[in-house]
């Protein structure tokens, strides 16, 4: 544990709306240059603290067993940890042998921590040499759209990762907002009016559930 926060190296924290930092890295599926990778697709880029550890094994298995759902959402998975490619290969084959689950997506071997540092995955007061559990939702234009950070000792929730990804895509394609706990099939929020004219039009609109001019919901056929 470092004693003085001011003495710590400063790592930038990417923000929602930023272009995803570019990198070239070795993965379990060969070298990737991120800006050329998964063109026209969404990417869920996620880090885990270490190979051959229990929580990480459950999380990676969760991504692997639900990969088809990510495929259906036009989304590529990319994992990362600060381990060697040999550790990754050993872990992937060990999990396959012991459980039958195969991590069929690239996992970055970020031994020099260059990608972890660019993405703010290194949070020294939580762990100095391991990446925290970060998830970056990156759209096809390579813009960061949503970020999750979890500590070392709490695993992520795969339902929430998939729900958030679907919500981002529905929000983009239908120009709507999604309320608390939204899941596909539930009503969506119609963007509130921005002028008095739009407000008067909204008040006369039919086919929507209008609580007041600023809060209206409608059904959406997906
Ligand atoms: C785990 O995945 O179980 C784990 C990894 C690093 C620190 C603590 C837990």
- What pLDDT is recorded for position 5? 60
- Ligand 1 binding pocket (C-beta < 6 A) is 49-50, 53-56, 130, 152-153
Reported confidence tier of residue 6, pLDDT bands at 50, 70, 90: low
| CA 150 to chain CA centroid, nearest Å | 12
Using alpha carbons, list the distances in angstroms from residue 141 to 18, 20, 121.
11, 9, 22
Backbone angles phi, psi at 109, to 5 degrees: -95, 95
The whole-angstrom separation of Cα 30 and Cα 34 is 12
Q: Which of 131-135, 137-141, 209-213 has the lowest mean pLDDT?
A: 209-213
The best mutation among 52, 56, 62 to test binding of ligand 1, ranked by most ligand atoms within 8 Å of the C-beta, falls on 56
Instruction: Residue 60: name the closest of 20, 25, 88 by CA.
Output: 88
CB 218 within 8 A of CB 211: no
The whole-angstrom separation of Cα 69 and Cα 7 is 43
Q: What is the pLDDT of residues 9-18, one digit of tens each?
A: 777 889 999 9
Does the active-site annotation cover 151? no
- From the candidates 45, 56, 132, 135, give the one annotated as an active-site residue: 56
| Ligand 1 centroid distance, CA of 44 (Å) | 21
Backbone angles phi, psi at 22, to 5 degrees: -85, 155
- What pLDDT is recorded for position 114? 96
Chain-wide mean pLDDT for the chain? 95
Does the pLDDT at position 4 exceed 70?
Answer: no
Instruction: Residue 82: name the closest of 43, 117, 33 by CA.
Output: 117
Instruction: Residue 71: name the closest of 165, 145, 211, 179 by CA.
Output: 165
List the structure tokens of 193: 């009016």
Q: Which of 3-7, 93-97, 119-123 has the lowest mean pLDDT?
A: 3-7
Q: Which of 8-22, 29-43, 121-135 has the lowest mean pLDDT?
A: 8-22
Instruction: Residue 136: name the closest of 20, 37, 217, 53 by CA.
Output: 20
HSE of 195 in the Cβ direction (CA atoms, 13 Å)?
Answer: 3
Instruction: Residue 92: name the closest of 78, 75, 107 by CA.
Output: 107
Determine how many CB atoms are found less than 10 A away from the CB of residue 79: 22
| Ligand 1 centroid distance, CA of 174 (Å) | 39
> Model's pTM, two decimal places?
0.94
């Amino acid at each position: 544990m470092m004693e003085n926060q001011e003495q710590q190296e400063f790592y930038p924290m990417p923000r929602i709306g930023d272009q995803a930092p570019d990198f070239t890295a070795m993965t379990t599926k060969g070298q990737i240059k991120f800006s050329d990778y998964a063109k026209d697709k969404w990417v869920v880029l996620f880090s885990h603290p270490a190979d051959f550890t229990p929580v990480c094994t459950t999380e990676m298995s969760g991504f692997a067993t639900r990969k088809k759902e990510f495929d259906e959402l036009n989304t590529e998975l990319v994992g990362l940890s600060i381990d060697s490619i040999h550790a990754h290969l050993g872990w992937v084959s060990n999990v396959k042998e012991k459980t039958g689950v195969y991590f069929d997506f690239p996992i970055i071997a970020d031994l020099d921590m260059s990608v972890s540092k660019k993405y703010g995955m290194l949070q020294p007061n939580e762990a100095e040499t391991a990446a925290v559990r970060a998830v970056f939702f990156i759209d096809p234009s390579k813009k960061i759209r949503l970020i999750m950070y979890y500590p070392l000792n709490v695993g992520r929730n795969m339902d929430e990762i998939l729900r958030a990804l679907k919500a981002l895509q529905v929000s983009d394609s239908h120009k709507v907002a999604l309320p608390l706990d939204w899941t596909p099939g539930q009503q969506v929020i119609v963007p509130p009016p921005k002028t008095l004219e739009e407000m008067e039009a909204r008040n006369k609109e039919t086919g929507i559930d209008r609580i007041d001019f600023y809060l209206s919901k409608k059904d959406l056929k997906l």
